[in-house]
Structure 1
Amino acid sequence: MANYFVGDIQGCYDELMQLLSKVDFNPSRDQLWAVGDLVARGPGSLPTLKYFQQLDGAANVSLGNHDLHLMAVHAKVKRANPKDKLEALLDSSEINSLIGWLRHQPLHQELPEHKIIMSHAGVPPQWDLNTLRAESLRVTQALQSADYVENLLTKMYTSGSNQWHLEMGELEKRIYCINALTRMRFLHSDGRLDFECKVSPAECKDPDLTPWFALEGKVNQSHTLVFGHWAAVMGEVSSTRIKALDTGCCWGEYLTLWHLEKDEKITQNKLKKS
């Protein structure tokens, strides 16, 4: 048995299939872990979701911001961006089933025997493991509730929940959790999440901003953190306890798979379309 962690697929289904063939992935034997953003930008969002849904117990997914945005578009809370190439998915007869499956995916995943935690954007440095589990569970439960559109999706884009404090209300905590686990890149010196700067750490000119993974975090003192979301990083982080897997396949770069047991990264270049 092998554990394979894959970076942001974002509809790059053909590249995913090529990558999995390189390692002879077998769902009856192996486990596939996806850091989120299964959909959007690439042309194959529909087959990507169908593939992960049919993997059943061999698939382990943490939701990304594009996955949540798809739910909002499906619920007519947001309009689809033509650049996301979601038409075939939204028009599919299977869309309701696929959205239902997505709603049952968590914001983070754990592999306890290897002390690994996976989330789309990372883990706030100030959170300990108990806080991560509790706040992630709040969002999972809200997504699975019958009134998830009114009580979560319509509120999800509310601003003002970018700094963690225990006096937050329940909704504020949910929004902060979504922002932190699916959108986080840089933090201000006072701990606030920043959503404006999306360049690589080397290109960031604001002295008040620090990449979340460059700060001393509580969770990564004991666990390895696997994340995606930040293509500009291109998998380059200094800590051996941090695995960055978004390498911009949908932007013309490549898709990255991390083989846990061998501590080896395997890549697949973006395929040229005729």
Structure 2
Amino acid sequence: MATYAIGDLHGCYVEFETLLEKLDFSPSRDHLWLTGDLVNRGPDSLGCLRRSVALGSAASVVLGNHDLHLLAVARGHGKLKRNDTLTDILEAPDRPEMLEWLRRQPLLIADHERGYVMTHAGLLPQWSIAQASELAAEAEAVLRGDDVDDFLSVMYGNRPARFTPDLTGEDRIRAIVNVFSRMRFIADDGTLDFAAKEGLDSTPEGYAPWFTYPREDDPAGDRRLTLLFGHWAALEGRTPDAQVDVRALDTGCVWGGSLTALDLGSGERIAVPASR
């Protein structure tokens, strides 16, 4: 049995299938961790979402910002953007089942036995794994609950830019979701910058990549864990000056790069080039 973590699909269905074939992946034997952003910008968002749903218990998925955008648009709380490729999902006959499955996916998954934690964008260095897990569960309960529309209607936004324990209501959940799904550069107090989205040469003054800040040990021994994330295609899988053990898995398939899998047993990276 092998477990593979795969970077953002972004609707790159052909490459996803090619990578699974290269891995000799079998859902009856192996397991996938998917870093989120299953959909959008690529040519076959519907194919990627359907395939992910069909994998059932053979796949563990975390929500990315584009997945959350799809949920908001589908429920009438967001508008399609010019470069969105979500219409095929919105018009699909199995749309209700797929979107119900999507909103029940977590923001964080952890395998303490293997020593891996995965979120879409990363992990705030001010949070222990235990705290991050609790905050993820708090936001997941909202996304899975009967009042999900109340949150999705106010989900978009950059404020508050910093999570503090005293936050309540929609501000608290938005801050949590933004950390897990949108974070790139942060200040030393945990304030997120939302403007810079390119590579490390675009680092804003007073900010640094989240993974360059050290994490303090806690009783759970967080520093022994490897953090897996996607979201940041401009890194091209590289995390220079990282102060924690991280693996960047979004290698920009949708932008002409590649789709990458990490074998969690051997640490080997396996990739296929973008077909476009």
* Structure 1 unmatched ranges of 5 or more: none
* CA shift for structure 1 position 85: 1.4
Shift of 1:199: 1.8
Aligned to 1:115: 115
- Structure 1 residue 256 and structure 2 residue 254: aligned? no
Residue aligning to 1:225: 227
User: How far 1:158 moved relative to its partner?
Assistant: 3.6
Please tell me whether the aligned partners of residues 125 and 215 of structure 1 are also in contact (alpha carbons under 8 angstroms). Answer: yes
1:28 corresponding residue in structure 2? 28
**Aligned match of 1:204 in 202, 205, 210?**
202
Distance in 1 (alpha carbons) for counterparts of 2:18 and 2:271: 9
Query: How many residue pairs end up in the alignment?
Result: 270
Alignment match, 1:18: 18
Q: Alpha-carbon deviations, 1:181-239, whole Å to 9, x = none? A: 000000124321000111211x1253311000000124752311000000111100144
Give runs of aligned pairs for residues 1-274 of structure 1, distance below 5 A.
1-150=1-150, 152-201=151-200, 203-204=201-202, 206-218=204-216, 221-238=223-240, 239=242, 241-272=245-276
1:10 and 1:39 in contact (8 A); partners too: yes
Shift of 1:168: 1.1
Structure 2, unaligned runs of 5 or more: none
Instruction: Work out the percentage of aligned pairs sharing the same amino acid.
Output: 38
Moved more, 188-197 or 37-46: 188-197
Aligned-residue offset at 1:251? 0.7
Write the distance in 2 (CA, Å) between the matches of 1:79 and 1:164: 27
| Aligned-partner Cα distance in 2 for 1:244–1:13 | 20
**Contact 1:135/1:173 (8 A) holds in 2:** no
Three-state SS of the structure 1 residue aligned to 2:113 is helix
The answer to whether the Cα contact below 8 Å between 2:41 and 2:83 also exists between their aligned partners in 1 is yes
Give the alignment's TM-score, normalised by structure 1.
Answer: 0.95
SS in 2 for 1:213: helix
| CA offsets 1:56-111 (integer angstroms, 9 cap, x no match) | 11010000000000001101111112412111111001111110000110001111
Q: Which 4+ residue blocks in structure 1 deviate beyond 6 angstroms? A: none
CA distance in 1, matches of 2:234, 2:245: 19
TM-score using structure 2 length:
0.94
The 1-side partners of 2:49 and 2:88 are apart by: 12
